[in-house]
Each structure stands twice: as C-alpha cells, then as structure tokens.
Amino acid sequence: MNRSMPRILFLLALLVLSACSTKTSQMVSSMLWGDWEDYDQQVQVDYPDAVPIILIHGWNGGEFSWPAPRKLMAMEQTLQRDVFLFTYRTGVVANRYPPIELLEEQLDIYLKNYQQVDVIAHSMGGLLLRQYLAEHSDNPIRRILFLSTPHFGSNVANLLVELGNIAYSGNIQAEELLPGSDFLWQLNSLNGAELDGKQVLNVYARKQHNLLKGDLIVTTAHAWLPWVRNAEVDGDHHLGLRIGEPWVLNFLRTGEPLLAAPVPDSREIWLKFKVPDSDEPASLNATSVYRFGAKNTTKALQYGLCCDGRSGLHPVGGTTMIIDHAMPGDRIQFYPRKGAASQQIYVDQLMQHDWPVQMRMLEFNMATQHPTGEPRMDADQRE
C-alpha cells in the first residue's frame, strides 16, 4: 500500500463521520431552505450610500463559512452598512478547480460594481485577495482584514494534494498552498507592494501549548505577514465565524488595528537556485543536502523540497528548499545541480530580517563554486 494511503483513508473517515447526524434528511433539507431564505433577504441592498463590506471565504468554503445570515443582518444594522459575499469554486473533493491566479479575475469582475469597499478575507481567500491587488492597482479597496490566511502556505496542503491525486484531475489550489510553491514565491516576492495605500490588519490564532488547540491548519509563522500590522487572538482556524466581535467591528469603523503581535519565534528559510546568465533553475533532491551545526557536528537536516510538480500558473521553476528551524551558526552543504561541486552556505548569511519566513534566490558562480554576492566563510572563521 502507498504510504500516504492510511492518512488519506483516515481523512475520508473523518469526513464521513462529520456528515453523520441524528437529524433526518427531511429536517436537514428544511433547515437549509430556511438558511437560503435568510440569505435571500440578507443580500438585499439596505444601505446604498455606505461603503459595503465584502466577505471572501477560504479553501473548501462558501456562504456557510461565515456566521448565519441573521447574524450578518445584525452586523449590518450595527454598522449601518451592507455585507456581501463573494464565492468561487473550491472544494475538498478533487475537481478541476481553477488556480488562484484565475480566481482573481472573477473577483475583479465582481468588484467593478463598487466605487469603494472594505474586505474581510478568510484563509485562502486572503491569498486570492492579495493576488487580485497584485494585478489590479486601480481597485476600490479601502480596508482589509485578513483572518487565518496562510501567507506562506500550510503544511496540511501536502495531505490535500495527496487526497486530490486520488482522481486524475488533482487539486491545483492545494498545490498552490504548499509552502515554497511557485505561486507563494511569486506573491511574496512583491514584498507587500500590493498592499501599499491600504489599511490592513492581519489576524491569526495565538499559538497554544496544547497541540489540540489553536489553529491546526496554519502555523503562526506561516500566517505572519511582514509588511502589515499583525495581531493574534485566542481561537482556531475558523476566525471567519467571529466577524461580529467588537475588535472586527472597530477596525471596520475606524481602520484602527489591534495591539501588534510579537514576531513568532520560529525561523524558516526558503531558497531557490539558478546559474548566472541563464534562466535555468536548479533542482535538488533528498540525497543532495547535508546540514552541519556551528561546531561542525553533523545533525539531521529539517528541510523540505517543493514541489514535485508545477505549483503556479506562472511557474518560477526549479526547487524550493525549505529549511525548518534555522539556527544561527548552522552551515549547509549540498550539491546545487548535477555535476557541480559541493557548496556551503551559512544560515547567518541568509537571515536578513527578524521574520519567521525569509526567501532568498541564490546564483552560483561556477568558477568559484560559491554563491555570488555571498562572502565565503570557512569553518575556522566561524568558531
């Protein structure tokens, strides 16, 4: 049996169990019709002169990712503003769901109806919104509230990709959510320029010592966005269900954010490699990387390689090496491409900022066999 199959079967079992209920199908159908009747009322325009609020759900989401329509109507009355929902094709069952780069075109068409809006984006919906902003500088968005957005991916996406591969169609959206994906590399290479001129608050669930609590989908390191105000609250991944709380309403009214959260203490480095004067990206495999500690003691390398296949509509190419738990003093030895001599890189040289995730693209001078622009530092200079 494929090693991934037990995990996939376990996930499928959870989905089946979650679908089980003591309610009869007639009762469920009646409840759903009631909800849709409420949504039909909620989507009506009640405050045409006020700036509306647009909700963008995440992966495998939809209208029911948000509070019940009656709660949304209460929120509208409190703020004296309309709340509208933007939905798109996504789901856990493998299907030909569009990549995020195409979904943003649908969002562009939707937002052309408005002169000015505030947006609340949950999970993958935040990535969709950032991609839209990157491609459309002329947009109506004033304020942005990100909730539990995997700005640097989600490790759970590995399981979602495997689940999608059960069917031939796969799950492209899950592949784009992989840490180190071409999509995330391109988006974060903008260094937050797409958010310039916006009032932005990025909120995620506070890290918990209990492994069964907190956000089990997106880590604080992957949710933290370097170029905006970050805040953390107690809770789990489903912060979208809490948009009626005072801290959300206050931001929507005034644009004033919560107290800034401390930078998460985890350190992760994403590396890509290319040869100078060439567009050829370098690829790595699991046998080409070694890691040494500050005292030259060999230790296990905590790293990942992304991705096995294409992971973006406009791929960068090559391999992204993700160094987990990067520690000052560590040096890494590897073979950047077939036939090349061994290379060494020191973690200290790669950590340019006090950020949880840092991205570096390195070029290799094949004459000196060292990364260009990086001073060579031998072991005896370090100790």
> Looking at residue 364, what is its pLDDT?
60
* Distance, CA of 161 to chain centre: 15
pLDDT of residue 100 exceeding 90, the answer is yes
Q: Are 274 and 372 in contact (CB under 8 A)?
A: no
Mean pLDDT of the chain: 85
pLDDT of residue 268 exceeding 90, the answer is yes
The residue ranking higher by pLDDT, 282 or 73, is: 73
pLDDT level of residue 161 (50, 70, 90 thresholds): confident
Q: Mind listing the pLDDT tens digit for each residue in 119-137?
A: 999 999 999 999 999 999 9
CA angle 180, 270, 337 (to 5 degrees): 90
pLDDT level of residue 335 (50, 70, 90 thresholds): low
Q: Are 61 and 27 in contact (CB under 8 A)?
A: no
Contacts of 279 (CB under 8 A, 6+ apart): none
CATH of domain 21-254: 3.40.50.1820
The residue ranking higher by pLDDT, 18 or 107, is: 107
Q: Mind listing the pLDDT tens digit for each residue in 290-320?
A: 777 666 666 666 788 999 888 999 988 888 9
> Looking at residue 25, what is its pLDDT?
82
> Looking at residue 326, what is its pLDDT?
83
> Looking at residue 232, what is its pLDDT?
96
Q: Residue 71: how many CB atoms within 10 A of its CB?
A: 15
> Looking at residue 228, what is its pLDDT?
97
> Looking at residue 367, what is its pLDDT?
42
> Looking at residue 372, what is its pLDDT?
46
The dihedral through the CA atoms of 12, 14, 19, 20 has a sign that is positive
pLDDT level of residue 226 (50, 70, 90 thresholds): very high
Q: Is there a cis peptide before residue 306, judged by omega within 30 degrees of 0?
A: no
Q: Mind listing the pLDDT tens digit for each residue in 248-264?
A: 999 999 999 888 999 99
Nearest to 146 by CA among 225, 31, 34: 225
Strands 357-365 and 320-323: unpaired
pLDDT of residue 327 exceeding 90, the answer is no
Q: Mind listing the pLDDT tens digit for each residue in 346-383?
A: 888 888 889 999 999 887 654 444 444 443 333 333 32
Q: How far is CA 267 from CA 181, 273, 306, in A?
A: 18, 20, 18
pLDDT of residue 96 exceeding 60, the answer is yes
> Looking at residue 95, what is its pLDDT?
76
Q: Mind listing the pLDDT tens digit for each residue in 174-217?
A: 999 999 999 999 999 999 999 999 999 999 999 887 777 889 99
| Average pLDDT for 343-347 | 81
Q: How far is CA 102 from CA 164, 171, 298, 303, 312, in A?
A: 19, 14, 45, 31, 11
Instruction: List, by residue range, all CATH 3.40.50.1820 domains of the chain.
Output: 21-254
Q: Are 330 and 292 in contact (CB under 8 A)?
A: yes
Complete edge-to-edge strand list for the sheet that includes strand 331-334: 289-292, 331-334, 343-346
> Looking at residue 374, what is its pLDDT?
45
The residue ranking higher by pLDDT, 184 or 170, is: 184
Contacts of 57 (CB under 8 A, 6+ apart): 63, 65, 66, 85, 86, 87, 122, 123, 125, 240
pLDDT of residue 276 exceeding 90, the answer is no
